[in-house]
Structure formats: C-alpha cells, structure tokens
Amino acid sequence: MTDTTPSRQIAESLRSEIANGQLPPGGRLPTVRELAERFGVSRNTVTKAMTILKTEGLITARTGSGAYVREPHPIRRLGPGRYARQRWQVTTVTAHADDRPSSEAIEQQGGQTQEVTLIEADQVVAEALGIEVGAPVYERARVMTRDGLPTHTMTSYYRRDDVEGSAITDPRPGIAGQGGGFAVLASRGLDPHEITEDIAARMPTTEEALLLELPAGEPVVEVRRTTRTVDGQPIEYARGIHAASRFVWSFTYPIPD
C-alpha cells in the first residue's frame, strides 16, 4: 500500500505527531541528530524526511535554531464585495499629485509598494485590453503586505490614453492606491461595471518565492482580472500572485439557464 523507505516512514511518523497535536503549531521538532539516533538512521535520512515535510508546508526550519511546526495563517476571504462602488466612488476625486515628484519610482507605505511604468503591451495584455501588441500601456505594479509580511502582488495595466496625466501615473503609493484606480477611471467617464476573474493555482517561480517570502511547499494562486465598462469596453487588466495559504476566494451566483 505505502511504499516505505526509511525517510518516508520518518516523515509519516512526524506527520502524525503533528496531526494529533503531540507536536503543536509553533512547537519545535526534535533535532536532526536526536531523530537520527531515535530512528537508527543517518543524519541525511532525517534531513530528507524534513525536506518532505517542508515541501508539504507542514514545517519550517531555521538554520541554527531548529525546525518548527508551521502555524496556520489568518485567512482572508475575497469576494466581489472588495470591489464595491462605495469603497472607491467619490463625489469629487480628491486624490491629486503634488509638486515634489520623488526621484525613486518605488516607495514604501503602510502595506503597499508601487511602481508605475509606461511600457508596450505584450500579447496577453494587448488581447485583454483589446489593443494592438506594442501599443503603449501603463503598468502599475504593487506588492501588498500585511503585518509586515508580503501577501500578494497586483499588477494592473491601463491603456495610456485612459489614464495619462491622472493620479494613476503618479508613482507614489496611496495616490491611486486602494481601489483608487477605479475612481480615476470613473472620473474619466470610464465607469467600471463588470469584472471577470480567472483563478488558477501552481507552484511559484523562484522570483515569486523570493518576493513573497514563501516557505517551501507553499503554492501561489494567480488571479487574472479584466474590468469593463457597461459597454463591454475593457479598461483594466490586472494580474495578481497570492500566497495560497492566506486567501480563500468566494463567489455566490444564481444558477444560470
């Protein structure tokens, strides 16, 4: 039934100790040397067992300190409500650029970094926005953090003419941040009306793992979002990478005919 190499057996043994609470979340595992002696194997074999558990997301190890049972993350539930009008709709657009442009295009602020650049649309972006490949688009790349830890990235693309000169093209975070992109589009007569979200999961690339400080064995969820006006005209395409363990997506809808 179970193909049973020593390293797998040790992993299974520790796994069940974690499952039954004998090793509680945050608790420290016995040292590699202790386990090697306990199971009568070499240190390498125990290390391998721990590698298995790490890639399963059950433990993390800190060199010089020990290996610990991973604590469950607080989970955020993401639904359509996060895009609700009342969250971004304002009578007058209060966001505005001031006169001291920062030399750096990246700044840090409570929970969000931002980088805005004018680029040429690639295949995917062009198709999503209904423009030609190579057409100019503004890319607005953000990294969201929570409790000092990065939780997800969100990179939006806008047609240049739609947002040129607006607060969106101001690189400082907070100006167009926090849904403010929708307010800017609305102020230009491009009211966001409909959203399509595509959701898929996969293992992270090495860059993503570094950027989001992902432990081994943590998948990412990639969200691709297209926002359209009431006429069906796409006004924003966005791509987000989320640390999987911190989010749940929730949708409620009537059964279609």
Partner DNA sequence: TAGTGGTCTAGACCACTTC
Partner DNA sequence: AAGTGGTCTAGACCACTAA
Q: Which residues pair with 144 in a beta bridge?
A: 112, 152
Smallest distance, Å, CB 191 to DNA? Answer: 50
Q: Which of 16, 21, 25, 34 binds DNA (CB under 7 A)?
A: 34
Is residue 127 within the footprint of its own copies (CB under 8 A)?
no
Is residue 118 within the footprint of its own copies (CB under 8 A)?
no
Smallest distance, Å, CB 24 to DNA? Answer: 17
Smallest distance, Å, CB 201 to its own copies? Answer: 4
Q: Which is nearer to DNA, 44 or 108 (CB)?
A: 44
Instruction: Report d(CA 208, CA 186) in Å as an integer.
Output: 32
Strands 107-109 vs 66-69: parallel, antiparallel or unpaired: unpaired
Smallest distance, Å, CB 202 to DNA? Answer: 21
Is residue 206 within the footprint of its own copies (CB under 8 A)?
yes
Q: Which of 14, 15, 18, 45 binds DNA (CB under 7 A)?
A: 45
Instruction: Report d(CA 118, CA 139) in Å as an integer.
Output: 6
For residue 118, what are its two tokens? 């004018």
For residue 17, what are its two tokens? 């100790």
Is residue 31 within the footprint of DNA (CB under 7 A)?
yes
Whether the CB-CB separation of 59 and 46 falls below 8 Å is answered with no
SS3 sequence of 5-60: CHHHHHHHHHHHHHHCCCCCCCCECCCHHHHHHHHCCCHHHHHHHHHHHHHCCCEE
Which parts of this chain interact with DNA (CB under 7 A)?
Answer: 5-8, 29, 31-34, 40-45, 47-48, 50-51, 54, 61-67
Which parts of this chain interact with its own copies (CB under 8 A)?
Answer: 2, 12, 15, 51, 55-57, 75, 77, 80-81, 83-86, 192-203, 206, 216-221, 227, 244-245, 247-257
